[in-house]
Amino acid sequence: MPAYEVARTLVKSPPELWDELQGTRLPDAIAGASVRPTQHGEELAWEAKGVRGKARIEPSAWGTKVTLTAEVEEEVARGGLWSRLRGGRPEPTSHTDMEDTLERVLDQLGADHKKPFTRDQGD
């Protein structure tokens, strides 16, 4: 299985990043991904057709280190040995750009900011 890992330290709190990763962030980036916590507040496992991985967060000196990993099924495993021996070609994996996808997730996590509190100014 090809494996990918990307990591970055983001200037956000662990609980804030946990909420985003546990929510729709990964399913939005990886179609059909289901997410489940494996170590509350620290690690999530996710899985979609042909790919699975983990999201790990840990406090760092100036923020929170986020590490995303993915393992993509090999095409031979998906097509089956007998199919390959008979000359069949396995369908190409839809996760050929997984490293780029994980990098985009980190980019979005680092760029998203909540709007600051604003006080309503009465006329």
**Residue linked to tokens 């406090």:** 59
pLDDT tens digits along 72-107: 987 545 555 555 566 655 454 456 688 999 999 999
- DSSP conformation letters of 21-53: HHTTHHHHHSTT-EEEEEETTTEEEEEETTEEE
Who contacts 107 (Cβ-Cβ below 8 Å, separation ≥6)?
Answer: none
Question: What ranges do the domains of the chain cover?
Answer: 3-109
Say yes or no: domain 3-109 is CATH 3.30.1360.120: no
What pTM, to 2 d.p., does this model score?
A: 0.75
pLDDT at position 111 is: 84
pLDDT tens readout for residues 7-40? 999 999 999 999 999 998 999 999 889 999 999 9
At 76 the pLDDT is: 43
